Amino acid sequence: MTKTKQILNLALPAMVENILQMLMGVVDSYLVAQVGLVAVSGVSVANNIITIYQAIFIALGASCASLIAKSLGQKDSQKTNRFIWDSILITVGLSLLLGLISLLAGKSILNLLGTEAAVTEASSLYLALVGGGILFLGLMTTFGSILRAQGKPRLSMNVSLIANLLNALLSACAVYIFHWGIAGVAGATVLSRLIGTLILWQAMQLDRKTIQITKPFNRELFNLVLPAAGERLMMRAGDVVIIAIVVKFGTEVVAGNAIGETLTQFNYMPGMGVATATVILVAHSLGSQKKEEIRSLVAASYWISTGLMILVAGAVFLFGPQLTGLFTDNSRAVDASMVVILYSFMGNPVTSGTLIYTATWQGLGEAKMPFYATTFGMWVIRIFAGYFLGISLGLGLAGVWIATVLDNLFRFIFLYIRYQKYMKTI
């Protein structure tokens, strides 16, 4: 099997699943936009917190997939089984913690962003409901990662499709029939994820008699999960600070930025799908002692990811005004959305590099390097440059997105150079 086929066999189902998960957010944003700009701004701000949770679960899932794939490459079934159950246990514990934070401290966290009172109220309601039920998103993410590592990526994809169809149906009923607004959309999201979780659990057919939990904890898993989750946390927490900068430009720009980010999420789906495949294939090659394959896998992953991302981003850019018009007819919000779409398109090659080389390091079992790169890139380059360009120099939202491209450029170069040096040592 060629490298391209190997990558695409894993990447395409993961890509479709990522798109389906993002569609859930698009459906929510579209339906909430029918309520008004305050509502869509509120959900946007709350989703920046939810996205932090989701990013942590994605990092956890990638770490689990990496270690499960490596143990499968080593043909160690006992270790594979232990990694599966440890992953589920960690997901449940982490989800319960994040759910409590959403319920008990969500409004206090949102108040720190300095949004208008009406936007904060809308945000806190959505965060309490969706964040309080975050367990089901966590379990769906982990179950999907386990299935992909076992070579069953289409099963998780099919369940995501079912969950999204349910979410669209239930959310539409909540808004148009029952007029429940934000609460109805949030409730539909949680319920559809609960149903998806139950279907995946049944499909996995795990024998509870085989439960093996590492005591006191799985050091190998934690050594990979903690820096990987820390990297995502630094990224998403930084995004919240960026939103605090964007808030300075007004509610209309916040809404336009939210709409633009909702649309450009599709630009990154091919890269995220290929990155998922890269983690698994690199880890499997490492476990099978086929280290000579890693270089060709990584190179192929980058070019496949970049090509697909440019195609999708080009389509979003071409139809940007029409797509934005589905959400709002406010001219300032439309202009802000197009700024996001433009810079997302221009930055795709370096964003692709950041995604693929982050995945490569995770597959190699060395998640600390992306953590260092993201921490510096986000908190030193993106935030400071975003504030300086956007506010101090008066470039507005364009300044914030120029800083975003600079951050991704730095991380791509840093991770690539360190990777080349590392490969000479193994």
Annotate 179-196 with DSSP letters as a single string.
--HHHHHHHHHHHHHHHH
Overall number of domains in the chain: 1
The residue type of 163 is A
**How does pLDDT run along the chain (426 residues), one tens digit per residue?**
578 888 888 888 888 887 777 677 677 777 887 777 788 788 878 887 887 888 889 889 988 999 899 898 888 888 888 889 999 999 999 999 999 999 998 888 888 777 778 888 888 999 999 999 999 999 999 999 999 888 888 888 899 889 988 998 999 999 899 889 899 999 999 999 999 999 999 888 887 777 777 777 788 888 888 898 888 888 878 887 898 899 899 888 988 998 899 889 889 989 999 998 999 999 988 888 888 889 999 999 999 999 999 999 999 999 999 999 988 888 899 999 999 999 999 999 999 999 999 999 999 988 899 999 999 999 999 999 999 999 999 999 999 999 999 999 999 999 999 999 999 887
Q: What is the pTM of this model?
A: 0.80
Nearest to 412 by CA among 349, 368, 343: 349
Range(s) of the domain holding residue 172: 3-423
Is 11 within 8 Å of 304 (Cβ atoms)?
yes
- Please name the helix (run of DSSP H) or strand (run of DSSP E) that holds residue 96, with its range, or none: helix 77-111
